[in-house]
Amino acid sequence: MFAHTVLVLGLLLFLGPHSLRIFADDWRHRRVAALGEKRWKGIYAAVAAVGLVLVVWGYGLTRDVPVAIWSAPVWTRHLAAVLTLPAFVLLVAAYLPGSHIKATLRHPMLAGTALWAFAHLLANGTLADLLLFGGFLAWSATDFVSARRREPTSRITRPALKVDATAVLLGIVAWAIFARFLHGPLIGVPPFV
């Protein structure tokens, strides 16, 4: 269970700081005021980076001791590969100001993360998968709702469709490159096999 403990600790350290605006926004504001924005961001980034390293390490360790929860049908791997395509588009749209996607969703990165996590939950059935993808799905869905309540609607009155077209095109290209060339070597699982 050491591997799963490392994974859970990593998830807590990574998702914990990212959840402060959901559960402790006033406390977060007081800490930023007390420490200064740069120092706060440095601490935040350091904790999240350690968490991410532990998530990657812990998830890798769990492959040696998988605890099966369910056996996903083979077709769910293909469905997950297809569902991650719009997730990539949403991730790109998060960084392109002036898009209809961003104006409508306001937080396309969180929506993309939720879709990515959901897709991977469909195709993977170990305890580590449930912890990793279930944790990211729960966090991103909760943060999406929280952020939309916290922030006013977008001020973009006439989003430019060319920005959306750019997001879709770049998202498709990024998805294709990642799926074809990077997912297998980095994650150890080719998505279309």
Mean pLDDT of the chain: 93
Segment 135-149 shows an average pLDDT of 96
| Range in 2-16, 141-155, 171-185 the model is least confident about | 141-155
CA distance to 91, 115, 117, per residue, from 168 (Å): 10, 16, 20
160 pLDDT higher than 80: no
> How many Å apart are CA 77 and CA 86, to the nearest integer?
16
pLDDT score, position 103: 87
155 pLDDT higher than 70: no
The set of residues, in sequence order, having a beta carbon less than 8 Å from that of 130 and lying 6+ positions away, is 69, 121
CA distance to 12, 46, 128, 138, 164, per residue, from 186 (Å): 23, 23, 17, 24, 29
92 pLDDT higher than 70: yes
150 pLDDT higher than 90: no
pLDDT score, position 152: 72
> How many Å apart are CA 106 and CA 37, to the nearest integer?
23
pLDDT score, position 177: 96
The reply to whether the predicted model has a pTM over 0.85 is yes
143 pLDDT higher than 70: yes
Confidence of residue 98 (pLDDT cuts 50, 70, 90): confident
2 pLDDT higher than 70: yes
pLDDT score, position 17: 96
Segment 87-110 shows an average pLDDT of 93
The set of residues, in sequence order, having a beta carbon less than 8 Å from that of 64 and lying 6+ positions away, is 3
